[in-house]
Structures are given as C-alpha cells and as structure tokens.
C-alpha cells in the first residue's frame, strides 16, 4: 500500500472515530453500538478437519482496515468507560501517589564500585549510577533513562554490562516494544558513545577479560527466536562480527553470560525439556567453545563455576525435582558428575548461590520457597525463618565469593518488597530497605491466609489471599482471583501497593496456585501441560467454587484475572464456566492456540511444542482444539470482560485478542460489557514508564469496581 494513502486513511479514521464518539457522548452506555469486524472466511485444514476463521484477516498489521478496527475498539472502550474517567484518574493518582518518587535501590559492590539505580521526582525512567570504592565518593551517572527516552513513545533498557577494567559500558535499548534491542557502548571516562551500534539483539553483552571483546546474541528477524551468538571486537565494523554459535534447532533458543568467577564465558542453549552449555576461558576470547555435556531430550541442567569445579543443578537420571552434582572443571561430562544433594520427592531444588565458605540452596516445597544455608566447612545446615503463611523470598545480587553476607529479597501479600543482608555465620539479619508506601501503610490492617481447595480429582490446590480486616464472609464481598499456570512458572504471593486500591474498597485478592506452575514441585508442572493442560483450567474453576462455598464471595461478586498464558486460562474458564464469574480481566491473552501453534513464523511457536504440543500431530491437534478459547467460543452468556493488548506485542500477537473479541461479539447471547483496550505504542509488557503503566491498572480496577457500583 502507498504509505501516503495509508497515513491519510489513519488520519481519516481517527477523525471519523472522534466524530462518532462526540455524537454518542450523551447516554453512551446504552446507545453506542460495539464495533463489528467484517467476516472474510478463511479455511484452515489439517488432519482432514477444516476450521473456518472469519477474522483471520485481522493479522494484517499494515492493513489500514485493521488499524481502523482497533481504533474503533479503543473508541468504544473509551465511550463505555467514559462515566468512570474521573474515577480512573482518581485511582491512577492514588496508585502513583503511593510511589516514592525520589528513590534509589540498595547499592551493591562489584569490582571496586558501588552500583545502584535511582529515580527522580516526576521522572518516568531509571538513572543508573555508581560510586568508586565508597558510597561517600562522587556519583557517576552511567545512563539517564529520562534523557535517552526523549522523543520516544516507548523506551526500555536491556541489560547493562561494564567491562572488566570498569571503563566501558554496553547496554541495549528498545524503542518499539518488540524486545529487539540495539546495543550501544559508552566510554564511562569521557561520556562519549563509541561508533558501535548493533541492532536486533536480545539486549545485553558479555565482556571477555581483555576489555575489548564482547559476545552477544541476536534474534531471527521473523520468529524473534534468539538463534546466534556473535563475537565483537571494539573498533571493528559490527558487520564483520564472527558467529561463534548458531542454534539450528528451532525448538531451542540461545544465550551467553559470564560465570560468577569471571573465568568462563558460557553459551547456553535451551528448550522446554533440554539444555546444553559450552564454555570458553574469558581470558582467551578468540578460542573455541567446548561443550559441557551434549544435549539429550529430557536432560536439563545448569552450571555454576567455583575454584576448580562446576556445580550442576540437574534432573539427570530421573531426578524429577532436580539434584545437585559437582565435577572437576576439566572433566565436565556427565559420567564425572558426583552427587552433592540428592533429589527429593517433596522438595524442588530451584538453584544455588555459591560463596567461599557457604552455599545457599533455593528450594520450594508446599508452594513456598525456602533458602537453606550450608556451611561448606562444617556441613552444618539451617533455613532462614520468614514467619508468614504466604510469602516470596529469593537470592538477590551477590557478586562476590569471599563474603559471609547473603543479600536476599523478601515480600508477602502484606509485607512490602524488602532487601535483607544476612550474615550466614552469625545468623544476624539486617533489613537494608523496605519499599516505602507513601501516605502510610500499616500491614496490621490486613489479613493474609493460605487455603487449599480440592480439585475434582482430589488434588489439593493452594490459594493465597489477602483482605482488609473486618471482612464479612457472607458471600457478598467482591473477590479478584488471579492465576498464571504455565511453563512451570510459580506465582509468588507478592506485595502490591497498587492493589491497596482494591483492598481498601472491600475487595479480597487471591492467587490460585494451579497446576502448570511449579509451586508443588516438578510434577505440578507436568500435570498442567501438553495432554494434561485442562487441569490448569479446572483447578482454577475449582478454586473459584471453593471460595464461593466458603463464602469469601459469590458468583455475583467474583472476578478472574490472568495475562499472556494466564490470558489463555481466562479464555478457557470463560467458555467452560461463565456462570462462576461476574467479570474477567484478560491481559495480552494467548487465545488462538491451534492457529498460532501451526504457524512456525509466529514468534515463540517452535520453542513451545513441548509446552502445548505440536498440532501437526493429530493427538495434540484434537486436544488443543478442545480447549483453545478462540475455537471454543459458543452461543452462550459470558461474563463482563475487559481485554487488553498492545499493537507491538512480540509474545502474544495483538491479533489473537482482537480476533477473540470479534468472535465473542458475534456469538455471545448476553448484554454484558465486552471491551478491548489496545495500546497502539507498546507491546507485551505495556507502557514503559514507571507511572504510565498504571493507567491500564486504573482502567482494570475501574472496570471491576464499576461492576460493584463502587465509583469513589
């Protein structure tokens, strides 16, 4: 299409929508008709089965008609929520008002410098700083995101990496929200940018020890799969960079990093069920990478180097919940691995942090994570005691081996994000910082509980919940139930200052720790993927029924929330049990499962066959089709629904929720509210600023509070 005609079409569409909105400004809630997407039937045939997709055409990002439709959806959402605009602003101001605007992180020391991030009053983006040797030294501003973001509707840093001699900083920037970063290199002594710009990277680099060579990964232009590792030498043209590793298997992605010991550059390749590593001495960047242990299906491992050995966290030899092994650094093959910590049926080993005299083991059991401290000299062990029913704790930044201090992070549904330094020898705990909630916050005004619902097959499903004290459990209180339930990702019971806007208005917030995550160990994940995926959906519905039965809420006051793969969950429960929910918040939802998984040009598809199945195999096609939210939309009543997405989403393409909403509009038999909000400048993570992202939160909260007739 001629670009001038395309732009003029957009301008015209915008004017028409403005006029449309103005003419319907009075009594919009009853008189305005929702957008109707035109139907262009497309036959999709495989395994002798044909599906008709009437809205397939919405995947044409450059088609002006598609943009017109998305703009019409936004106009409709704005019109239907216009009576809440003042309330949305109140919520937004309330949420942002709790943020300490002039703030900074707890500094950590690495290679002679103290590093920290700070924010300034009214500014959206981070400022990355350091001080030499002591915190009393002069501040060096490495990067000011507020300056670099000027002129960009979207701005996001990748990772930052400082050279070994502390003189150079490499960093990535994304200004589109497709998670394709351009790498820049800055001279920290002069403040000048080097003539090095490398596009289409994953966002960071790994420096060799010569201070002039670094390694980085790039993405396939179409699928966005990270598939190549490159070596760059400062002063050379990036076009002449050498490919040191090409991951040919399109079910794997690749990455590169440096060991904590700074001795090795490590290339990793990872799929859902298999990993593989290659190592290179960081002092010899032009050398050849050596394979650590060749990939095998169902063999997962990760490696940590210390002194003359590697520690390996692995599921080798049937260790479903993983175990810890060790091997000499010059004998890395699996036949040399020796057991340090055996696998356990009731404890998932998630990772380790190594120190000179101590090892910290990150474990998970009974849907809670734990930190075990092992004295490597005496072999004495102890656990950190966190003292709450539901919480989240994990290892933070610990760049040095020779220290007795462990830095870790802690939060719970009632405890703001906190950073602790823990002396592993004396067992003394020091709170370094607790997130400040501006305006005051007293955790004693809130209750948190850990409950267990019983699934249809008898499995006990954990639920973490929080509410303001004084809640009457009579079935009349509103409750927002959240879950994710995919990729083995465990949903932590974390604190949210924004969430107080719901709790203080009488809402209970609950997290359903459903199968598909890893809260109860590896089997919890295995029982919620592939041909057992429906457990994820039925678990969520069973948790909903339990909360109703226990009178925490009722179906007239129950709301569900999930995003991305959790948005798939929202689509599935809406089809299966629409009667359980008064409203659903579906963020960037993965809802067109079969069509997406059949299209290997769509980002992420090939790497996820072991998560969802490959629909080119009939068994998986039939099963996926039986729950795919888009395919299972039917003529029935649906809850009130707010769907959010971003035009530039690289993880779940915008057209999945757009098609889903169009089909729901066609099929549903109720008059409940169905609206879609499309951020035309962002992608999967929403707006990039630390304040702007809460505009969507305010919209979501206003949506469900409005359904409860709470508009103050």
Q: Residues with Cβ < 8 Å from 434, sequence gap 6 or more?
A: 415, 416, 417, 418, 419
Specify the residue for token string 């519905």. Answer: 541
CB 574 within 8 A of CB 561: no
Taking Cα atoms as reference points, which of 69, 153, 76 lies closest to residue 648? 153
CB 276 within 8 A of CB 258: no
Taking Cα atoms as reference points, which of 712, 571, 580, 710 lies closest to residue 652? 571
23 DSSP 8-state letter: H
Q: Which long-range contacts (CB under 8 A, 24 or more apart) does 380-384 make?
A: 382/427, 384/408, 384/422, 384/429
CB 55 within 8 A of CB 659: yes
CB 256 within 8 A of CB 279: no
Q: Distance (Å, rounded) from C-alpha 61 to C-alpha 359?
A: 50
Q: Distance (Å, rounded) from C-alpha 642 to C-alpha 352?
A: 41
CB 695 within 8 A of CB 626: no
Q: Distance (Å, rounded) from C-alpha 257 to C-alpha 279?
A: 10
Alpha carbon separation from 33 to 27, 75, 308, 634, 700 (Å, rounded):
12, 11, 70, 21, 21
Alpha carbon separation from 458 to 168, 510, 542, 580 (Å, rounded):
57, 21, 11, 20
Specify the residue for token string 């232009």. Answer: 221
- Count Cβ neighbours within 10 Å for each residue of 695-708 and write b for 16 or more, e otherwise: bbbbbbbbbbbbbb
- Residues belonging to the active site: 564, 649, 684
Q: Distance (Å, rounded) from C-alpha 172 to C-alpha 181?
A: 5
């Amino acid at each position: 299409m001629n670009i001038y005609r395309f732009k003029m079409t957009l301008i015209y569409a915008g004017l028409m929508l403005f006029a449309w909105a103005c003419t319907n400004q009075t009594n919009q809630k009853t008189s305005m008709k929702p957008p109707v997407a035109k139907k262009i039937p497309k036959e999709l045939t495989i395994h002798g089965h044909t599906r008709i997709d009437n809205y397939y055409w919405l995947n044409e990002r450059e088609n002006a008609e598609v943009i017109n439709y998305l703009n019409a959806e936004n106009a409709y959402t704005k019109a239907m929520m216009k009576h809440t605009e003042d309330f949305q602003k109140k919520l937004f101001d309330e949420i942002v008002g709790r943020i300490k605007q002039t703030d900074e992180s707890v500094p950590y020391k690495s290679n002679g410098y103290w590093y920290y991030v700070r924010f300034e009053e009214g500014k959206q983006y981070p400022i990355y700083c350091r001080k030499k040797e002591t915190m009393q030294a002069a501040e060096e501003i490495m990067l000011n995101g507020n300056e670099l973001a000027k002129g960009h509707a979207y701005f996001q840093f990748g990772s930052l990496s400082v050279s070994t001699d502390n003189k150079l900083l490499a960093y990535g920037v994304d200004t589109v929200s497709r998670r394709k970063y351009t790498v820049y290199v800055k001279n920290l002594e002069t403040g000048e940018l080097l003539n090095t710009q490398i596009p289409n990277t994953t966002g960071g680099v790994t420096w060799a020890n010569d201070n002039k060579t670094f390694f980085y990964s790039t993405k396939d232009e179409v699928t966005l799969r990270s598939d190549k590792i490159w070596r760059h030498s400062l002063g050379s043209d990036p076009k002449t960079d050498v490919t040191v590793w090409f991951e040919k298997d399109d079910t794997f992605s690749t990455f590169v990093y440096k060991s904590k010991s700074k001795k090795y550059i490590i290339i990793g390749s990872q799929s859902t069920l298999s990993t593989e590593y290659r190592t290179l001495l960081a002092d010899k960047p032009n050398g050849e990478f050596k394979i650590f242990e060749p990939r095998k299906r169902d063999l997962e491992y990760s490696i940590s180097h210390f002194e003359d050995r590697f520690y390996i966290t692995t599921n080798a030899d049937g260790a479903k919940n993983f175990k810890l092994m060790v091997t000499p650094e010059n004998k890395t093959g699996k036949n040399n691995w020796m057991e340090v910590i055996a696998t356990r049926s009731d404890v998932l080993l998630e990772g380790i942090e190594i120190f000179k005299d101590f090892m910290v083991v990150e474990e998970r059991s009974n849907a809670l994570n734990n930190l075990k401290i092992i004295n490597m000299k005496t072999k004495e062990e102890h656990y950190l005691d966190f003292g709450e029913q539901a919480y989240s704790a994990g290892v933070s930044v610990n760049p040095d081996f020779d220290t007795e201090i462990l830095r870790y992070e802690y939060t719970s549904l009632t405890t703001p994000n906190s950073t602790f330094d823990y002396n592993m020898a004396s067992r003394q705990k020091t709170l370094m910082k607790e997130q400040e909630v501006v305006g005051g916050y007293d955790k004693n005004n809130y209750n948190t509980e850990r409950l267990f619902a019983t699934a249809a097959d008898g499995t006990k499903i954990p639920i973490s919940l929080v509410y303001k004290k004084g809640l009457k459990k009579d079935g009349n209180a509103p409750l927002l139930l959240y879950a994710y339930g995919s990729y083995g990702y465990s949903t932590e019971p974390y604190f949210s200052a924004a969430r107080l806007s719901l709790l203080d208005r009488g809402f209970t917030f609950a997290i359903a720790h459903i199968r598909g995550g890893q809260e109860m160990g590896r089997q919890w994940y295995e029982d919620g993927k592939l041909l057992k995926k429906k457990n994820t959906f039925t678990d969520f519905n069973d948790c909903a029924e339990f909360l109703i039965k226990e009178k925490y809420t009722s179906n007239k006051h129950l709301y569900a929330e999930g995003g991305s793969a959790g948005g798939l969950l929202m689509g599935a429960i809406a089809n299966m049990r629409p009667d359980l929910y008064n409203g659903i918040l579906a963020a960037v939802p993965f809802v067109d499962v079969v069509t997406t998984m059949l299209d290997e040009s769509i980002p992420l598809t090939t790497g996820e066959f072991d998560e969802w199945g490959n629909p080119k195999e009939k068994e998986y096609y039939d099963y996926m089709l039986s729950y795919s939210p888009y395919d299972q939309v039917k003529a029935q009543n649906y809850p009130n629904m707010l769907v959010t997405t971003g035009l530039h989403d690289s993880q779940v393409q915008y057209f999945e929720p757009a098609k889903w909403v169009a089909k729901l509009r066609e099929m549903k038999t109720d008059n409940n509210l169905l609206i879609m909000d499309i951020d035309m400048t962002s992608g999967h993570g929403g707006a990039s600023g630390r304040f702007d992202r809460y505009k969507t939160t305010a919209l979501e909260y206003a949506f469900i509070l409005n359904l409860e007739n709470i508009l103050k």
